[in-house]
Amino acid sequence: MPESTVLPEQDRALLPSDDDVRFYAEHGWYLSPKLLTDDEVDALVAASEEYYAGRRDRELPLRPEKLSYWTPEDGEVQRNNDYIHYESETIGAILRKPIIAATAARLARVDLIRLFQATLLYKPPQPDEKSNIVPWHFDKYYWATSSSEDMITAFIPFHHCDEEMGTITMVDGSHRWDEFRGWDSRNGHAAVPGDTEREHLLTEVSRRNGAEVVKLPMTIPKGHMTFHHCRLYHGSAANRSDRPRRAISLHLQDGANAHRDHRLATDSRQTAYKHDELLRKLPDGSPDYSDPEFCPVLWQS
């Protein structure tokens, strides 16, 4: 078993309890105890600043078409940089801390967790900047070529993160909603939080499910993080504070996940994820979502 899957004795008490696992199954999200030390969080800040200044420990061998990759030329908009775990060794090493993946495995009730993708996030303190608003969405929408329904995302802020900073907001229990045909059409899927004209998405989906829309902005202390199910609707509002909101969105896959052929419900077009260009190929030509170069095993029980 890889060394990274060994959980230090002092971390075992940090794992979700049986009640926490039941809560996650019902609500679709979980706020962790302190899983990162202050020094580790501060190291993430320092490494991210070095990254923004141009440092790369290694670079992607190619730039997938759908890659999110902020550069200084883009200006003071929200920054999104995919594959941060690959290009920054300091950040990658912290994201591989066993307690993070062990927590995900416990919540998802699986025995193996691989890294799927990690995106470095930065919201400048500009409340009027439209890019600061993240539309309502669920992650599985972007991962339609993934076979698993147990994938999970950890949202990891680099500081105390609250509603003023544009924290992640969960739509409680929405991972249990049935989706109507066309959810993957890329037509009307996203709705901007607070935009009444486009709130129809949540209203319509919840109505069809006989459910109430309950929006919960997460207050996340430094060193803590949230985990959410791949079908849970979530989004975030603008950063109204006087400092940038820094975070990583760490996407995790269970061991059973694999590439699948998927065509849009509305027009039968083939969908693809950015991985599909980057990962090694299986004998049948499909991308290998267990490629250890980009999707290493983080936890195995």
Q: What is the pLDDT of residues 116-126, one digit of tens each?
A: 999 999 999 99
The residue extents of the domains of the chain are 9-300
Angle at 69 between CA 294 and CA 151, to 5 degrees: 45
Q: What is the reported pLDDT for 272? A: 82
Q: What is the reported pLDDT for 188? A: 40
Angle at 109 between CA 106 and CA 114, to 5 degrees: 75
Residue 111 has a CB neighbour count (10 Å cut-off) of 12
> What is the rounded CA–CA span in Å between residue 17 and residue 179?
30
pTM here is 0.92
> What is the rounded CA–CA span in Å between residue 65 and residue 44?
27
| Contact predicate 278/232, CB 8 Å | no
Q: Which two tokens stand for residue 217?
A: 């902005």
Q: Which two tokens stand for residue 111?
A: 């025995």
> Which is it for strands 234-236 and 168-171: parallel, antiparallel or unpaired?
antiparallel
Q: Which two tokens stand for residue 246?
A: 């820094």
| Contact predicate 106/16, CB 8 Å | yes
186: pLDDT strictly greater than 90: no
Q: Which residues of 281-294 are buried (b: 16+ CB within 10 A; e: fewer)?
A: eeeeeebbbbbeeb
Superfamily of domain 9-300, CATH level 4 = q2cbj1_9rhob like domain (2.60.120.620)
Order across the sheet with 134-137: list the strands.
Answer: 134-137, 234-236, 168-171, 215-217
- What confidence tier does 202 reach under pLDDT thresholds 50, 70, 90? confident
193: pLDDT strictly greater than 70: no
Q: What is the reported pLDDT for 269? A: 53
Q: What is the reported pLDDT for 141? A: 86
Across 257-278, average pLDDT: 77
- The shares of helix, strand and coil residues in the chain, as percent rounded to the nearest 5, are 30, 20, 50
Across 209-226, average pLDDT: 96
